[in-house]
Structure 1
């Protein structure tokens, strides 16, 4: 059989950009961002503002308080819905297979199938609301990816 997949959970404060880690199961990003040079911050300089690019992050996930909000509206999520959303939001633009999501979100011991993931994705989309449901995109015959919505 295949070797087990290894996943890493990275907890990052909601106001910071997560570092991009090369993971063994990461699929190539179909729309790679131009490589951004890390800002060299002088000692005593204020930290770089993540919102300086003019993009407001409309979907916010707080791993510490386990809360999620879309455009300032708190979402009432179950444990698994929160884990699923947090995982997708932590890796914007990456395509996740259903198998990977089951392993990562539900855990290694879980015997689940893609339908379980589909049901939870559908619930998440419903809770995100019509304006933001498309942030979670279906990638045909592969799985799902999260594309951060931009402020209109």
Structure 2
């Protein structure tokens, strides 16, 4: 009896994850990604513009005085599906960030693509270490747990 229950639970959990697509082709990344006031515009020529980006999301170090300030910056971007599990990589230009690259994972399901960017420290919500941007219109209720790998 215990083996049957375990098989049902395992099958249910696998079915729940089976509709999720990981990664994305470069041409599907182009466009506008949003979360609240934050906008990330990825151009087809490999450049980007970030507006109202939270500096604590891979852009500042612990001792950076800008830690709570949203910033605007630009740079180049690439899709990196080879060798790493980071699907979208931003390279901020002109020293806008304390780091030379911002990495994110991409998850797509239910017709919605999301960039899952690891944040330094803790943000509000169940998946406290992710800042999530959505391609197109964000859902009415954000679900950062969809960034987790289970």
**What TM-score, normalized by structure 1, do the two folds share?**
0.28
Whichever of the two has the greater Rg, that structure is 2
TM score, norm. by length of structure 2: 0.29
Q: Normalized per residue, which structure has more helix?
A: 1
